[in-house]
Amino acid sequence: MRKTALAAILAILLRGGPAPARSPEAEAVCTQAAGIARELTEISGLKLLHTVPCDFITKEKVNEFVKQRVKAAASREELRAEELVLKKFGFVPPDFDLARSTVDLLTEQATAFYDYDRRKLFITESTPAETREPVLAHELSHALADQHFHLARFIRKGRESDDGSTARMAVMEGQAQWLMSEYLARKAGQSLRKSPELAAMMSAVSSDAGGQNPVYENAPLYLRESLIFPYTKGMLFQNALIQRDGQDGFAEPFRRAPLSTQQIIHPEEYFSSVKPTQPALPRPHLPRGYKPLVGGTIGEADHAILIELFAGKQAAADISPHWRGCVFEVRENKKAGRAALLYAAEWDSEESARAYFAFYQEALGKKWKKMTVSAETASSMDGTGDDGRFELRRDGAIVTSVEGLAP
């Protein structure tokens, strides 16, 4: 999935805004940073190479900065293309506004930033006093990683793959979440290293919005899950590395970055270096005038969201782990006002592909208001939907779909 704006959502959590005037309250909060940093270096074995400046920022400044960053991260055409892909797959409703939703969601969620350009962290003034210590621990963990592994470069190298980019974000956020959680656990006389169950529990807690975030709670499932994935699944991935490699597990994913969200969800796939496949796209006969608009990959994490959206959590848990690779492309004919979706997903067996084929048949009927089937066999279905004609196929372990063809 092309996540230009969504990647900006997460990347912006690592980048600060304009520096506000230093306040006495900020001074009091930031004095905790040195002690927290010492604890984090002991946990990780990574030395703090230099102190990290700290300050406050208002929610108004956050909102202003987010708007600027979204504009800088993606052009209007890129945002339009990304939004179109989300609507084509049915991840979001037809009236969804990606840019506005991105700004509103991030403004609500932001509690702190680490600016890896200026090597400085900021805490929003609205952050409750009782959460400032863990927030500092999380952002200082980013600073510690940045001093050793250069986070800006790490992010840039992941842009070649959409799913791989999300996996890299999960490395960064998951590690910071794990270190923060271990810091808090040690204060209570416990340790995630000695209790994998505690790590799972703390990961589950971090995914709970707790009824305090109305923008988040009213956002489409896709946006909510994309936002929390790097923190929750990333933390469990980091815990698996620590269980296997000890302190070496902090450096390993930066030196050998995971290639897919599947490797994050299933660390054993990372340990075994299992690479995603690249199934061939269907090749429909399109009239003259269609040009490639956007293309990319949809990983296991996004497939789990898609399946949950149309068939529920249990179906997502049953089908998505069998994902092996996926590519898609949207071709647009602006003059005709049409956009065609070309999509191919490979699964680990014919049985898994049959299950996904059956799901996708159901999903087509749910994401459109009207669907008419004109021909159907055990491995194919043709018909028309809200945006035109479609051709759904299963060939062995590969499921393909072409949607949005002219009637």
- Give me the pLDDT at residue 208, please: 59
CA distance 131 to 227: 20
pLDDT tens digits, one per residue of 230-250 = 999 999 999 999 999 999 999
Residue 143 reports pLDDT greater than 70: yes
Choice between 99 and 26, residue whose per-residue pLDDT is larger: 99
* 359-392 residue pLDDT tens: 999 999 999 999 999 999 999 999 999 999 999 9
Residue 213: exposed, middle, or buried by beta-carbon count in 10 A (0-12, 13-18, 19+)?
A: middle
Query: Which of 140-144, 205-209, 223-227, 288-292 bottoms out in mean pLDDT, i.e. has the lowest?
Result: 205-209
Other Cβ atoms less than 10 A from the Cβ of 164: the count is 21
Give tens-digit pLDDT for 6-19: 554 455 444 444 44
Q: What is the mean pLDDT of residues 15-39?
A: 69
* Residues 114/143, Cβ–Cβ less than 8 Å: yes
pLDDT of residue 25: 63
**Residue 97 reports pLDDT greater than 70:** yes
User: Is the C-alpha dihedral spanning 43, 151, 102, 66 positive or negative?
Assistant: positive
Determine the pLDDT at residue 207. Answer: 61
Q: What's residue 174's pLDDT?
A: 97
Alpha helices in 74-220 (DSSP H): 76-89, 98-109, 132-149, 151-157, 162-187, 196-206, 214-218
Is the pLDDT confidence value at 83 over 90? yes
Tokens at 244, concatenated: 């296997």
CATH code: domain 291-405 is 3.40.1000
Mean pLDDT of the chain: 89
Q: What local confidence, expressed as pLDDT, does residue 71 receive?
A: 75
Q: What is the pLDDT of residues 186-217, one digit of tens each?
A: 999 999 988 888 988 988 876 655 456 888 99
Query: Taking the domains of the chain in order of start, what are their residue ranges?
Result: 4-271, 291-405
Strand order in the sheet with 54-57: 54-57, 120-124, 112-115
pLDDT the model gives residue 116 = 79
Q: pTM of this prediction? A: 0.92
pLDDT at position 355 over 70: yes
251: CB partners within 8 A, 6+ apart = 46, 148, 149
Q: Please tell me the predicted confidence (pLDDT) of residue 4.
A: 53
Distance CA 65, CA 17 (A): 6
Tens digits of residue pLDDT in 255-274: 999 999 999 999 999 999 99
pLDDT digit string, tens, across residues 319-329 = 999 999 999 99
Q: For residues 166 and 164, give the distance between their C-alpha atoms in angstroms, rounded to a whole number.
A: 5
Q: Tell me the average pLDDT across 108-116.
A: 81
The pLDDT-based confidence of 157 (bands split at 50, 70, 90) is confident
Distances (CA, A) of 300 to 321, 345, 350, 386: 7, 10, 17, 27
